């Protein structure tokens, strides 16, 4: 579709770039900025900080018109999505309005992911969940993710496997995301083994983004 424009009495037809889609393929909807951890590498711990915010149903409803053509909906950002009491409702609303081929997922630290909640999330229509796993060593894990324990993600992994079995959601995938730093780099092979033993299907490894000078010594590149 060409877009008309006028300047100095001259009319021209400007076409959008060939790669521009008529609708968004992916939406990141940050349901909350609140978190139950104080991770050393998180932007929430740098500068003036970020106030806690919880997305309302009214705001989420404004996204619904985009859902029928959406390919992926990610329900997290800086905060911990499981802190939002309406997360299952958001997933259900999205699933009702999205294609059966579209993917709904989020990343979580796993501390609040009980077997019952995992079952509810899968039943509501969640397709993919990523657990934050920076190390298998309990001491290193604790130093990277203040407020959490390695046992948190162990329980979360078991909860997801149990939920997949009980809901019959063989299409559901779970895996992990790891922030690579000088300290965690040696843990990478161990995290891969940890995932394989527990049924995880993917691992996303990202370098730390230093939001301030305090994080610079952690950078691995």
Q: List the structure tokens of 196.
A: 């394989």
Q: For 178-185, what is the mean pLDDT?
A: 94
Q: List the structure tokens of 154.
A: 């162990």
Q: List the structure tokens of 70.
A: 């959406």
Ordered by where they begin, the domains of the chain are 23-218 (3.20.20.70)
The confidence score (pLDDT) of residue 221 equals 86
The confidence score (pLDDT) of residue 31 equals 98
Give CA angle at 107 (129, 47), nearest 5°.
175
d(CA 106, CA 26): 13
Higher pLDDT, 19 or 195: 195
The confidence score (pLDDT) of residue 6 equals 47
Average pLDDT for the chain: 91
pTM score, two decimals? 0.88
Q: In sequence order, which residues have a C-beta less than 8 Å from that of residue 85 and are 6 or more positions away?
A: none
The confidence score (pLDDT) of residue 11 equals 53
Host H or E run for residue 198: helix 188-198
The confidence score (pLDDT) of residue 16 equals 61
Residue bearing tokens 């959490």: 148
Contact 174/129 with Cβ under 8 angstroms? Answer: yes
pLDDT digits (tens, 9 = 90+) for 130-163: 999 999 999 999 999 989 999 999 999 999 999 9
């Amino acid at each position: 579709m060409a877009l008309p424009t006028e300047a100095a009495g001259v009319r021209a037809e400007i076409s959008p770039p060939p790669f521009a889609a008529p609708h968004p393929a992916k939406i990141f909807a940050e349901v909350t900025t609140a978190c139950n951890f104080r991770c050393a590498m998180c932007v929430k711990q740098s500068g003036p900080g970020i106030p806690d915010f919880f997305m309302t149903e009214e705001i989420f409803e404004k996204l619904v018109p985009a859902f029928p053509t959406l390919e992926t909906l990610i329900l997290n950002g800086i905060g911990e999505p499981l802190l939002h009491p309406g997360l299952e409702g958001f997933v259900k609303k999205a699933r009702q309005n999205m294609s059966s081929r579209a993917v709904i997922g989020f990343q979580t630290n796993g501390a609040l992911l009980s077997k019952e909640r995992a079952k509810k999330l899968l039943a509501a229509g969640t397709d993919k969940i990523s657990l934050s796993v920076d190390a298998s060593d309990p001491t290193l894990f604790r130093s990277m993710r203040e407020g959490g324990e390695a046992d948190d993600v162990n329980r979360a992994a078991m909860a997801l496997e149990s939920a997949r079995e009980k809901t019959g959601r063989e299409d559901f995938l779970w895996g992990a995301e790891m922030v690579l730093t000088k300290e965690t780099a040696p843990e990478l092979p161990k995290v891969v083994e940890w995932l394989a033993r527990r049924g995880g299907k993917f691992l996303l490894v990202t370098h730390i983004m230093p939001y301030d000078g305090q994080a610079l010594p952690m950078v691995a590149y």
